[in-house]
């Protein structure tokens, strides 16, 4: 194996271990990551010299002698900026390299992509000024796009007008920082991986619906071995376009009928309710009815839970991962989906796969972390452009 790749892999594992466990000691790092003591020491020292981490004094002893120093990501190590398109607005969220949001800025979305590039560039300047930081401190920008995104960052089947195939080139030229684009479901999966795992399995399927862009999207992100799996072209996990039999076929945004999203996503839940004679004006009204056990409201939600459980079960039969996490706007539907969803999922899934399976709803809710997660994943894994925060430090073993 290429020695430079091994060095990068060691640095990547140690960086994320420190980021996820602020205050961790060097000994604990070695035990957790599985590198030898010399490698851990070399990487930690190079991070410290580069200003990426800082020493944290431990207040308690783990054994005899005085407490050992721990390490945490330095707040001055650089910035990540997430960009999310939410209901006609562009939201920029700035975070440190630890991924913790520090400030945000929301702007009405520009009418065309040329304007969007300038808007994001101006937003970057504004958000760094608000933090008292320099634009050069931005390590990466991550854009969570509502639509399919190819491996090379081109947006296809956009759910928001103005996003098209030339988006990456247009925006990256305007902002002067590495830009990484992925769809919002993959961003949600990465956010779950980076910010909510707590030492749990690194093999899981993340499933979400999007409530902020007309509520018409359903997607998933596949995490295998602690990394996002995107497929050959970048479109792995398009769960919303899996076909599901229904007596009431509605035309999906993709132009086809029978897509799963038309049974599960918010827009389509409302449409199905109205067709059935339940004139609801919003998801809030539908959920209020469900809380009062109105039969018409429960029927459409139970149907969604069953359809989603069957589709996810079929996905699992191909993927064989040990955990499914439901996120996005599905979290608020949990009380009404959970039982039907779980029953259909476990009935559909091959028993040896189902037996060790864990099913949960994300505790991240709808926090705007997708873009930050995309930026963090991009800059730490981009070997071609060498954007990792530790690039340029003294060689490490």
Using CB atoms within 10 Å of the CB of residue 269, give its burial: 0 to 12 exposed, 13 to 18 middle, 19+ buried: buried
In CATH, what class is 3-73? mainly alpha
Q: Beta partners for 79?
A: 96, 138
204-210/148-149 β-pairing: unpaired
- Closest C-alpha among 184, 209, 202 to residue 361: 209
In CATH, what class is 79-187+369-381? alpha beta
How many whole angstroms separate alpha carbon 50 and alpha carbon 73? 11
Q: What pLDDT does residue 193 have?
A: 94
204-210/138-145 β-pairing: unpaired
Count of beta carbons in the 10 Å neighbourhood of residue 116: 23
Structure token pair of residue 204: 């899981």
Q: Helices in the chain by DSSP H: which ranges? A: 3-20, 26-33, 37-49, 113-131, 167-175, 184-195, 261-264, 266-275, 283-291, 295-319, 330-348, 351-354, 370-381
How many whole angstroms separate alpha carbon 24 and alpha carbon 287? 43
> How would you write the pLDDT of the chain (397 residues) with one tens digit per residue?
678 888 889 999 999 999 999 999 999 999 999 999 999 999 999 999 999 999 988 655 555 555 678 999 999 999 999 998 877 788 999 999 999 999 999 988 877 767 777 888 889 999 999 999 998 899 999 999 888 888 887 777 655 555 555 667 777 777 778 899 999 999 999 999 999 875 567 899 999 998 666 678 899 999 999 999 999 999 999 999 999 887 677 888 888 899 999 999 999 999 999 999 999 999 999 999 999 999 999 999 999 999 999 999 999 999 999 999 999 989 999 999 999 999 999 999 999 999 999 999 998 866 789 999 999 999 998 877 777 888 766 544 4
Q: What pLDDT does residue 110 have?
A: 78
CATH fold match for the domains 79-187+369-381 and 198-361:
yes
- The full set of domain ranges for the chain reads 3-73, 79-187+369-381, 198-361
Q: Do residues 140 and 379 touch, judged by C-beta distance below 8 A? A: yes
Q: What pLDDT does residue 397 have?
A: 44
Q: What is the dihedral of CA 361, 364, 370, 375, to 10 degrees?
A: -120
- Single pTM value for the model: 0.91
∠ CA 54-96-198, nearest 5°, is 80
How many whole angstroms separate alpha carbon 361 and alpha carbon 119? 34
Reply yes or no on domain 198-361 having CATH 3.30.420.40: yes
- What is the widest separation between alpha-carbon atoms in the chain? 73
- Closest C-alpha among 221, 213, 191 to residue 375: 191
Q: Could you give phi then psi for residue 250, rounded to 5 degrees?
A: -115, 150
Please identify which residue in the block is written with the tokens 């909510």.
196
């Amino acid at each position: 194996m290429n020695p430079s790749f091994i060095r990068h892999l060691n640095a990547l594992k140690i960086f994320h271990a420190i980021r996820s466990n602020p205050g961790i000691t060097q000994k604990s790092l070695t035990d957790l990551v599985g590198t030898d003591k010399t490698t851990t020491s070399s990487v930690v020292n190079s991070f410290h010299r580069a200003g990426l981490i800082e020493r944290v004094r431990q207040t308690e002893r783990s054994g005899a002698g005085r407490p050992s120093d721990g390490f945490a990501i330095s707040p001055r190590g650089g910035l990540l900026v997430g960009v999310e398109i939410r209901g006609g607005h562009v939201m920029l969220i700035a975070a440190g390299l630890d991924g913790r949001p520090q400030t945000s800025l929301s702007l009405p979305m520009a009418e065309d992509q040329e304007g969007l590039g300038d808007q994001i560039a101006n937003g970057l300047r504004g958000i760094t000024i608000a933090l008292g930081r320099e634009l050069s401190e931005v390590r990466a920008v991550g854009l969570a796009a509502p639509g399919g995104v190819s491996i090379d960052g081109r947006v296809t089947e956009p759910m928001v007008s103005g996003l098209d195939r030339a988006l990456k080139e247009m925006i990256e030229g305007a902002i002067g920082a590495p830009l990484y684009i992925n769809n919002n479901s993959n961003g949600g999966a990465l956010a779950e991986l980076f910010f909510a795992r707590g030492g749990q399995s690194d093999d899981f399927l993340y499933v979400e619906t999007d409530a902020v862009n007309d509520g018409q999207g359903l997607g998933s992100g596949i995490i295998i071995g602690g990394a996002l799996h995107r497929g050959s072209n970048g479109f792995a996990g398009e769960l919303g376009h899996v076909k599901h039999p229904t007596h009431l076929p509605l035309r999906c945004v993709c132009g086809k009928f029978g897509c799963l999203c038309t049974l599960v996503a918010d827009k389509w839940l409302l449409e199905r309710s109205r067709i059935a004679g339940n004139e609801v004006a919003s998801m809030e009204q539908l959920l209020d009815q469900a809380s009062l056990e109105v039969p018409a409201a429960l029927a459409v939600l139970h149907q969604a839970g069953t359809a989603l459980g069957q589709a996810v079960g079929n996905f699992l039969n191909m993927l064989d991962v040990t955990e499914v996490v439901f996120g996005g706007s599905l979290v608020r539907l949990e009380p009404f989906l959970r039982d039907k969803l779980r029953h259909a999922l476990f009935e559909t899934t091959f028993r040896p796969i189902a037996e060790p399976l864990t099913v949960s709803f994300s505790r991240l809710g709808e926090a705007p972390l997708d873009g930050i997660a995309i930026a963090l994943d991009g800059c730490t894994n981009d070997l071609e452009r060498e954007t990792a925060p530790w690039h340029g430090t003294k060689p490490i073993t």
